């Protein structure tokens, strides 16, 4: 397709700084509400962590839900602050401090696809609707995935242009 064919004429695109903020909102949402809050791993050999030894042949649970709320890495951890991701502010986080999709060789192979889906869905919904909070506040339920026992009570009101 020729460069100036006008194929995108009339379509609205978010300016780069708005897309950057959307990235920050998604990262902060994933920090507070990781899709997989509990990860199980098998430890075949002894592992030394600080002064603690985890014996080999052990099944363990990792809790990203709590790691992502550690005040040592995330000041004011219970507060939703997308700005904490602006300008590489958290670029100096240690490895495995931000793991909403797990990390290492067994991390979620679909995380890039999930992030692209989130960006597409959020930008489309926000462009056409105003979000309204309805009903009860979310109550986290820890199963294989993070969900809400009180439902997801969100209303959509069409935007008037």
Closest CA to 142 of 61, 25, 28, 26: 61
Of 10-19, 118-127, 136-145, give the lowest mean pLDDT range.
Answer: 10-19
Q: What is the pLDDT of residue 8?
A: 44
Top pLDDT among 30 and 149 is at: 30
pTM of the model: 0.76
Q: Taking the chain, what is the end-to-end CA distance rounded to the nearest angstrom?
A: 31
Round the average pLDDT of the chain to a whole number and report it: 84
């Amino acid at each position: 397709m020729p460069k100036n064919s006008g194929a995108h004429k009339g379509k609205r695109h978010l300016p780069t700084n708005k897309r950057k903020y959307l990235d920050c909102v998604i990262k902060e949402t994933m920090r507070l509400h990781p899709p997989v809050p509990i990860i199980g791993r098998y430890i075949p050999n002894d592992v030394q962590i600080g002064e603690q030894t985890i014996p080999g042949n052990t099944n363990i649970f990792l809790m990203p839900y709590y790691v992502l709320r550690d005040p040592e890495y995330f000041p004011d951890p219970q507060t939703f602050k997308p700005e904490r991701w602006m300008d590489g502010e958290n670029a100096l986080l240690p490895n495995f401090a931000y793991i909403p999709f797990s990390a290492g060789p067994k991390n979620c192979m679909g995380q890039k696809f999930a992030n692209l889906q989130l960006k597409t869905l959020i930008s489309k919904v926000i462009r056409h609707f105003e979000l309204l909070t309805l009903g009860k506040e979310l109550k986290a339920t820890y199963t294989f995935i993070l969900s809400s026992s009180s439902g997801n009570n969100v209303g959509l009101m069409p935007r008037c242009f």
